[in-house]
Amino acid sequence: MPTYDFDLFTIGAGSGGVAASRRAASYGARVAVCESSRVGGTCVIRGCVPKKLLMYGGQYRDAFEDAPGYGWTVAAPAFDWPTLLERKNREIDRLNGIYLSMLEKSGVALMRGHGRIVDPHTVEVGGRRHTARHILVATGGHAVRPSIPGIDCSITSDEALELKELPKSLIIIGGGYIAVEFASIFNAMGVEITMLVRGEELLTGFDDDARVTLAQEMRKRGITIHARTQPARLEDGAGGVSVYATNGQVFCAQMVMAATGRRPNTHGLGLEEVGVSLDKLGGVRVDRQSRTAVESIHAVGDVTDRVALTPVAIAEGRAVAEGLFNRNLVSVNYDNIPTAVFSTPPVGSVGLTERQARVLARDEGGAVDIYRTSFRPMKHTLSGRDERVMMKLVVDRVSDRVLGCHMVGMDSPEIIQGLAIALNCGATKAQFDRTIALHPSTAEEFVLLREKVPDPEGEVV
């Protein structure tokens, strides 16, 4: 048998790579991981964690505004962006240290530098080659800008997390979760926000009622949203940046942020040269066990052609380690994965959207029942804030099984996490109905929904 330097060599020390490396090492495997940036990956360093810390910072504006309704006399608040930025960076440094410590305590060798696969069992880092029985690609993704003239004068989410000072006005190109989250964050901090959205509404792929509700609530907060607006070019001038749209409109702001998606980090890894297949966006093609077209090479997380969520990357990484080093063949369950958008108000979703469920029912000769409510939450009866909650259940009419739960409003991510368990257990609408409500709460409405929404006229498209 051939002798290798390592049993597993992981390229990328983000959530998926670290999870796989530590699990493999716990089974006695000799493991190395290389990283060209900070350990922790997108989520910890430049994604979920820092973004949510900034979101928490923005929430204090609402708290100050709502306080008088509850009898609190509050002096005029003053916000200092550099203070929040420094505290955020300090927390990221702490988490980076924890990740480094976890690797060290697990016995995983950390190598600094860009990894490139030379052959199915060899990785080159900094000019030095290392052999491994198995190679795991876990390099995540990166923010991309649209390919239009002048786009280089825009920033991405990476730079938005490190701004030395806030702009007075900001145009955000895009309507996905990154766009709406940063729009909410900077709006709360007093920045004038204009969003240019290519489609009909925000958050393509989410339930339509959630999309419409979020747009309504964001507009109430002073965010300007232009739907069906496609930028054609950007021009940087003395007064700021101008965005020229294909419909002839011109938008101007002090700064422009491109939030049009992310792409897998596969460039320069040598993947195709050794036979690994990539999709049209550069994502690594893998099977249910995260195996690539090359037997010794696996891939997990955002670098693949699957679900780009941190908990999914962790589950995939651990599953790879289980299969390779514990003789435990594990397949990650991609059904009913809960998703949250930390906008203001936030969005929580799990299962099928109404549109997806109706299309599936049409194809299978079934039918769908929809239960939906919208109301002013109890908190705002005294605060006076004009903000509503939308909650929705998608139910299979024949089996009575709940297929999807969707919510826009305070605490929706926390509530949807619990409902995801119910959906994965195959809960029915009757079981929801038999559950005693926790009163008074917003979450109780999910077990109190009784009135069906009338079926739509015409065919679902």
Catalytic residues: 439
Strands 389-396 and 339-341: unpaired
How far from 316 is each of 7, 289, 319, CA to CA, in Å? 18, 8, 5
> What is the rounded distance in angstroms from the CA atom of residue 273 to the CA atom of residue 118?
8
The answer to whether the Cα torsion of 379, 382, 387, 393 is positive or negative is positive
> What is the rounded distance in angstroms from the CA atom of residue 168 to the CA atom of residue 241?
12
Tokens at residue 116, please? 């490139």
Hey, what amino acid is at 306? R
Q: Is 36 strand, coil or helix?
A: coil
**Dihedral, CA of residue 282, residue 283, residue 284 and residue 289, to nearest 10:** -170
Q: Name the packing angle between helices 208-220 and 354-364 (round to 10°).
A: 160
- Of 22, 239, 232, 27, which Cα lies nearest the Cα of 138? 22
Residue 122's DSSP bridge partners are 119, 131
